């Protein structure tokens, strides 16, 4: 599926799981989110609030999982898509309390976008399966990872998490 110009967006992945760990994982031991990751999450959270849903709290530690998947896609280690989603979702259940669902949206774009965060966000909003994931009311945490390959192509992985506050 192709969205405007040269953005490729793939259908969402969704899983349900249960756990009883900590609520959120942000700590000083995790790599902080990049500006692009934070900006993309902010756009999605603002959209959710505009339709009466709660924002998504971006978690730096969980974002390391998303970033690793984006890097694997950028490196060609895994194809563009959701390979390994079940493993990432299971890992999130060790990081958050009472995880009831995990969703994932991925995006790819060629080099040269003035605002890649907005391009990914816009592509997801214009794709019904991705929009459904974004508009799922139970999601309250977020993991966002962006990686770039040597050709300048960007890979986004956005994980949405429903967990106890």
Q: Given this model, what pLDDT does residue 27 score?
A: 53
Q: Given this model, what pLDDT does residue 165 score?
A: 80
Query: For the segment 19-52, what is each residue's pLDDT rounded down to a tens digit?
Result: 334 445 555 689 999 999 999 999 999 999 999 9
Element of type H or E holding 39: helix 35-50
Spans in the chain with pLDDT lower than 70? 1-28
Interatomic CA distance for residues 88 and 66, integer angstroms: 8
Q: Given this model, what pLDDT does residue 118 score?
A: 96
pTM, rounded to two decimals: 0.85
- Give the CA distances from residue 48 to residues 89, 98, 111, 113, in Å, rounded to whole numbers and listed in that order: 22, 22, 28, 24
What are φ and ψ of residue 57, in 5° steps?
Answer: -80, 115
Q: Given this model, what pLDDT does residue 3 score?
A: 36
CB 64, CB 37: distance < 8 Å: no
């Amino acid at each position: 599926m192709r969205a405007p110009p040269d953005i490729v967006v793939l259908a969402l992945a969704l899983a349900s799981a249960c756990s009883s760990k900590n609520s959120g994982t942000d700590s000083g031991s995790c790599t902080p989110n990049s500006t692009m990751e934070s900006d993309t999450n902010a756009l999605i959270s603002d959209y959710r609030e505009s339709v009466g849903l709660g924002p998504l709290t971006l978690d730096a530690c969980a974002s390391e999982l998303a970033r690793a998947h984006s890097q694997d896609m950028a490196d060609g280690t895994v194809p563009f898509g959701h390979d390994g989603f079940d493993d990432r979702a299971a890992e999130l259940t060790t990081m958050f309390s009472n995880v009831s669902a995990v969703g994932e949206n991925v995006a790819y774009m060629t080099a040269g976008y003035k605002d890649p965060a907005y391009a990914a966000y816009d592509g997801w909003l214009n794709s019904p399966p991705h929009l459904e994931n974004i508009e799922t009311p139970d999601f309250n945490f977020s993991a966002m990872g962006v990686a770039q390959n040597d050709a300048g192509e960007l890979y986004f992985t956005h994980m949405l998490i429903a967990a106890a506050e």
